[in-house]
Amino acid sequence: MFEVPTLKIKANSGVYATGQERVVQILETAVEILIHEGIGAVTLREIARRMGIRGGAIYHYYPTREALLLDMLSGVLNSYEQFFAGFRAPSDEPPEARLRAFIGALIDDILTLKTTRLFPEVWALAGRDDNVARMVDAIYIRSRLISKRFIQAINPDLDTRTLETLALYITSSIEGLTIFAGHEKPWANEMARLKHLACDTLIAAVKAARPDPAPDPNWRPPTLLDADSYAQIIALGDLDEG
């Protein structure tokens, strides 16, 4: 089973990009605090204490807690890129098998301590912070690019709106399992059954879907991103297909 890395650090993370090793240490410490104590405990002072360094050393890279949180969350969400890349790669497997594998891998990730603890914190912060909300929207758009590819291959007659709606339905169905059957959650021991049920029912929904008989040509997928940012993500998906 592929395990999603904890962080994928951008080249320009932190105020001084030359201190990448220190930036990685800071962000990894921040993630550990978030996972085990919640986002409220992630402070510059606590990170410095855990690292055994002066608080001023943290401010050297992150002058505010908000800047650090945004960099940390960006690194966490971008870490899924390697995971997505594995499903964008060419394969001789039929699309139904690929979609089943993709759904299963996402559910497997939910069972990890990191994902169970981290994502509810991210969702809560996204409800209060527009920048975080856009980051979350972007990562889910990237995820849906993959499921849409498989959905379209299974049911090629679908219109854009139905295709997008199915992809969103799959994502939301999977993410909801985090609360009930994630790591050490009450239904965690039943996750194998839930995984099998999710794969079967979601793929059945894809096969049973019918195109809108009168699609709206002006409909566009709802998003928090500006037009350019959204177009860049879609363009990357198009490049993968090419």
Distance of CA 74 to the CA centre of its chain: 10
Residue 11, domain member (yes or no): no
Q: Are 62 and 41 in contact (CB under 8 A)?
A: no
177 and 219 share one domain? yes
52 and 125 share one domain? no
Domain boundary at 30, 58, 74, which? 74
Model pLDDT, residue 2: 47
Distance of CA 76 to the CA centre of its chain: 8
Q: Residue type at 53?
A: I
**Closest residue by Cα to residue 1 from 153, 191, 186:** 191
- The residue range of the domain holding 21 is 17-74
Residue 29, domain member (yes or no): yes
CATH number at residue 116: 1.10.357
Dihedral in degrees, nearest 10, Cα atoms 163, 164, 169, 174: 100
Q: State the Cα–Cα distance between residues 240 and 23, nearest whole angstrom.
A: 31
Domain boundary at 29, 50, 74, which? 74
150 and 196 share one domain? yes
Q: Residue type at 14?
A: G
97 and 188 share one domain? yes
Q: State the Cα–Cα distance between residues 109 and 116, nearest whole angstrom.
A: 9
Return the ∠ at Cα 7 (arms to 95 and 110), rounded to 5°. Answer: 50
Model pLDDT, residue 237: 72
Model pLDDT, residue 210: 98
- Taking residue 12's Cβ as centre, other Cβ atoms within 10 Å add up to 11
45 and 103 share one domain? no
CATH number at residue 49: 1.10.10.60
| 43-52 contacts at long range (C-beta below 8 A, 24 or more positions apart) | 44/68, 51/25, 51/26
222 and 114 share one domain? yes
The single-letter DSSP state of residue 181 is H
53 and 148 share one domain? no
Which residue numbers in the chain have pLDDT < 50? 1-2, 15-16, 242
Q: State the Cα–Cα distance between residues 61 and 169, nearest whole angstrom.
A: 40
Residue 107, domain member (yes or no): yes
114 and 207 share one domain? yes
60 and 89 share one domain? no
H-only helix segments in 111-190: 113-126, 130-154, 160-175, 177-181
70 and 131 share one domain? no
Residue 9, domain member (yes or no): no
Model pLDDT, residue 18: 52
Residue 23, domain member (yes or no): yes
85 and 63 share one domain? no
66 and 143 share one domain? no
Dihedral in degrees, nearest 10, Cα atoms 105, 107, 111, 115: 90
Domain total of the chain: 2
Q: State the Cα–Cα distance between residues 29 and 84, nearest whole angstrom.
A: 25
